[in-house]
Chains A and B, each alone.
Chain A
Amino acid sequence: MRKLAFIIFLSISVFSFGQNRPLLYNVDDLPQSLLQNPGARIDFTRHIGIPFFSQIHLSAGSTGVTAYDIFSNEDSNVNQRVRNVMNSITAGDFFSVNEQIEILSLGWKMGNRGYFSTGIYQEMDIFAYFPKDPALLAFEGNADNINQDFKFSDVSFTGEILTVYHAGFNYKVDRKLTVGGRFKLYSGIFNAESTNNKGVFRTLETPGGPNFYRHEVLGLDVTVNTSGYASLKNEEGMTVDEAVAELLSRSFFGQNVGLGVDLGFNYRVTDQFSINASIQDLGLMFHQKDIENYTYFGSFQTNGLEPLFPELDENEAAIPYWDVFEERLDRNLNEETTTNAYNTWRPLKFNASFEFGTGKSILPCDYLISKRPRFMNLFGMLISGVNRPKGPTYGVTAYWDRKVNDNLRFRLAYGVDEYTITKLGAMVSSRFENFNIYLAANDIIGYTNLAKANSASLQLGLQFIFKDL
């Protein structure tokens, strides 16, 4: 258990990165902006990513605790710090880890108004609310929590690994409006989810009752669905390498599949002012293969065991009270393992922003070229969020985007979300001829000491971007 706790907290700390990618949103000379908003304005005519390196994205965070809160090297007792965290953290706090690696990315201009982009990326998304009541029961027990409900609904998590095959089209309707859509095929590698759980455990004082307390489990209804887990579990002696190889082999539609879309638009209200919005991953996964679901349900209550003082001879065995108790328990609290297919929604992401440009850039002096004016400074504000089991998580980011010249651009951002209110971010994108490299990091203050960071995120990529005039 201690090792598990250590691994969890280390994972949270090492991957303490945020979730959305506001630093890449609306960056019109990066193809990754099309993954955020397929209707974004873009400023390139072709792109091809370096396989596996065109986007490496890591993001995660925890809203209620940092590594420092637990593992501070101050003199106080680590168990006291754990107790302090247990008291302050709530069932609404959550941990998340999101990782994306673009395997393939390419696109090209189609006609005067269209841009086709396609690619493959692998994604891992883990999101878990802090299971406050079960954790409290495990850490403290029921003795100091008599008459208090321990809610099983606090157990709520989703986790998935999948490969996404996508193709999108960006279309300039007119000089003001750009729209886009992206069709996605999901190839599920692994999924585990447990949401909408119900039931309580409690220990009630019963002054007029038969014993000191009554222990109750009421309305238990807990389900854990998994796909891609049963076959791994059954492979005894499988090494980590073999397990990874097995998971990777499922990337190509060997397992479960799903469908989804991204939609978005950008509308230029004036030359300087534009608004835009998008949704990503409006889609479903259909889990039909390699399923194993665990369900726990029922109600039970007990005041203890009641001896009946039967008249027994020396040779007669006592009444098997415990066996009777266990039989009653098993009859009332059920456990089932099924292989029923199930569907899951992908975590829907949404973005909406406005942007204001100042400082017109100098356009090429060529009457054959018809380009809208571009601005050296862009000021924007973005609201983004992700749909999660207990409701959406939100973040607001304000940014200043500076195009130093046609080949160098940076963005500075300040954001507020459920992880932190001091989220400073920076992005640099640079071109060497047609070769582009970009690097973005959010929650820079957190990077000064990751132990104290609630979140941070990192994106980097290498690709070829062509801006044929």
Chain B
Amino acid sequence: MAKKALFVFRNSLFKIPLLLVLLSFLTTSCFKDVDFEQAQDIQLTPDLEVDLLYYKIDNTDFLDSETNAFTSVIRDTVRLEFLDDDYIQDGLMFAEFRFKHENKFPYLIKSSIRFLSENDRNQFAVNYDIPPGSIDSPSVVDTTYVVERGDIGKVRRSLKMLVELEIIGDGKDMEGELDFSSKGLFKFEF
């Protein structure tokens, strides 16, 4: 009996180191050459291209529907509710707006694009003249407006986009149309 116990003990002494070597190797394994603190620095930086407003107007838009009298100024306001979303308020760092007019009217048109807050306070505006064009040879004005980090609050406070057009002229011979397209490039950091 004692001999058997001694045999088992000797055998165990032989096996235990093998297990210990493997176990200690596993337990001492670790993460090397890494710094998990960098997780704090990871940023999501999506750049989003978003269509804004578009329209195509002709001479009837400048005529009173009841009297058919010429109206030189027309305007409309569109709410852009997404500008009030959390991701804009928290993460917007840069905005680049692009406005493109294609004028086939034989009149100069003054365009005013204004971004307004909820209580209609002007945040920023983009105003320019659109030279007269023709059906065969439209005049094109392609404008880019950049709002960078220091002024980005103006975009964050904006909630409405007001577009206003004024035809300079008497409105006779109003054949033609005016096309407008617009988009925004919004850069975020989260």
Q: Mark A139-154, 1 if CB is under 8 A from B, else 0.
A: 1111110100000000
A78 touches B41 (CB 8 A): yes
A438 → chain B closest CB, angstroms: 9
A319 and chain B: residue at smallest CB distance = B76
B26 touches A458 (CB 8 A): yes
B54 touches A309 (CB 8 A): no
Quick check: is A138 within 8 A (CB to CB) of the other chain?
yes
A146 touches B49 (CB 8 A): yes
Residues of B within 8 A of A322 (CB): 78-81
A72 touches B51 (CB 8 A): no
How big is the A interface, by class? 35 or more
Quick check: is B1 within 8 A (CB to CB) of the other chain?
no
B55 → chain A closest CB, angstroms: 6
A304 touches B33 (CB 8 A): no
Quick check: is A464 within 8 A (CB to CB) of the other chain?
no
Quick check: is A111 within 8 A (CB to CB) of the other chain?
no
Within 8 A of B (CB), among A195-248: 203, 210-215
**Which of B57-65, B103-111, B146-154 is near enough to bind chain A?**
B57-65
A193 → chain B closest CB, angstroms: 26
Question: Which of A213, A309, A451 is most buried by chain B, counting CB atoms within 10 A of its CB?
Answer: A309
Q: Mark B67-110, 1 if CB is under 8 A from A, else 0.
A: 00000001111111100000000000000001010000000000
Instruction: Give the distance in Å from the alpha carbon of A12 to the alpha carbon of B22 in the complex.
Output: 22
B46 touches A139 (CB 8 A): yes
Quick check: is B175 within 8 A (CB to CB) of the other chain?
no
Quick check: is A441 within 8 A (CB to CB) of the other chain?
yes
Residues of A within 8 A of B8 (CB): 432-433
Q: How many residues of B contact A (CB 8 A)?
A: 59
B18 → chain A closest CB, angstroms: 5
Residues of B within 8 A of A405 (CB): 11
B76 touches A72 (CB 8 A): no
A318 and chain B: residue at smallest CB distance = B77
The B interface is mostly helix, strand or loop, or mixed, namely mixed
A78 → chain B closest CB, angstroms: 4
Within 8 A of B (CB), among A1-35: 1-3, 5-6, 9-10, 13
Instruction: Give the distance in Å from the alpha carbon of A356 to the alpha carbon of B15 in the complex.
Output: 26
Q: Mark B154-174, 1 if CB is under 8 A from A, else 0.
A: 000000000100000000000
Question: Which residues on A are within 8 Å of B, measured CB to CB?
Answer: 1-3, 5-6, 9-10, 13, 67-68, 70-74, 78-79, 82, 137-144, 146, 203, 210-215, 302-311, 318-322, 326, 405, 407-408, 410, 426, 428, 430, 432-433, 437, 439, 441, 444, 447-452, 458
Contacts A5-B39, A212-B49, A213-B49 supplied; 12 other A-B pairs, CB < 8 Å: A13-B31, A67-B31, A137-B46, A142-B46, A144-B47, A307-B77, A428-B18, A430-B15, A441-B25, A444-B25, A451-B32, A452-B33
26 of the cross-chain contacts (CB-CB < 8 Å) are A1-B44, A67-B31, A71-B39, A73-B33, A78-B38, A78-B41, A79-B45, A82-B42, A143-B46, A143-B49, A210-B54, A212-B49, A213-B49, A215-B51, A303-B51, A304-B53, A304-B183, A305-B80, A309-B61, A309-B75, A310-B76, A322-B79, A407-B15, A432-B12, A448-B29, A451-B32
The 8 closest A-B pairs by CB, nearest first: A141-B46, A304-B51, A6-B39, A143-B47, A307-B76, A447-B29, A211-B54, A71-B34
